[in-house]
Chain A
Amino acid sequence: DTGVSQDPRHKITKRGQNVTFRCDPISEHNRLYWYRQTLGQGPEFLTYFQNEAQLEKSRLLSDRFSAERPKGSFSTLEIQRTEQGDSAMYLCASSLGGVAGVTYEQYFGPGTRLTVT
């Protein structure tokens, strides 16, 4: 198992452009999470999927953000009309899940660092 992978690792874009990030979870994990981490802060939850269903979205996720997980495997996070405030590290994590009363560990990818100029 190669762990959670993310692509690209770094992205520099100009304000107003659209960007898309990809996350490949650990293969047997049915849950996939997106978090955002700004400099000097801890990661903040954005959204999560169980299989292909997006089950929760944070209020941090404005309508410029959209996430998909079309076949319950990899996921994409798209940001439209980027703003300088979107500059951050975008983290993906995966876990097992769906069993009532059981909390599974989340395993994180290396992140995609977005810089909006």
Chain B
Amino acid sequence: GDSVTQMEGPVTLSEEAFLTINCTYTATGYPSLFWYVQYPGEGLQLLLKATKADDKGSNKGFEATYRKETTSFHLEKGSVQVSDSAVYFCAPAYGGATNKLIFGTGTLLAVQP
């Protein structure tokens, strides 16, 4: 069935380090791709999205490019801050008209000052 695989955490980085969180998905159909973020004690927030091949989603310094050939949507940020500490979820939207999100297990990012 439809699935997504995310890099396991926790990922611990120092402030201003470069971040990559890997995400690959199964290639059933042509899903739209999303990254959501969950800050401590808060609900899920949409971080960025891409809807077709080679699209780049970006927000708050984070970027991810829809790579159809490798079925990947890796999240990157050039310089992380302590305030980026959160759990990050990769989520393709499958199901045709349903557009249900299939979430990965999440990657905990801890940024140290």
Contacts and interface: CB of A to CB of B under 8 A. Distances in A.
Interface in A22-48: 31, 33, 35, 40-45, 48
Interface residues of B, number: 24
A43 B4 CA distance: 12
Contacts of B98: 48, 55-56
A42 B98 CA distance: 19
Interface in B28-52: 32, 34, 36, 42-46, 49, 51
Contact of A42 (B42, B97, B106): B106
For the complex of A and B, 7 pairs with smallest distance between CB atoms: A42-B103, A103-B32, A108-B44, A45-B100, A110-B43, A43-B103, A108-B43
Given A42-B103, A106-B99, 8 more contacts: A41-B105, A42-B89, A48-B98, A93-B101, A105-B34, A105-B49, A108-B36, A111-B43
Interface of A: 31, 33, 35, 40-45, 48, 55-56, 91, 93, 95, 97-98, 100, 103-111
Interface of B: 32, 34, 36, 42-46, 49, 51, 89, 91, 93, 95, 97-106
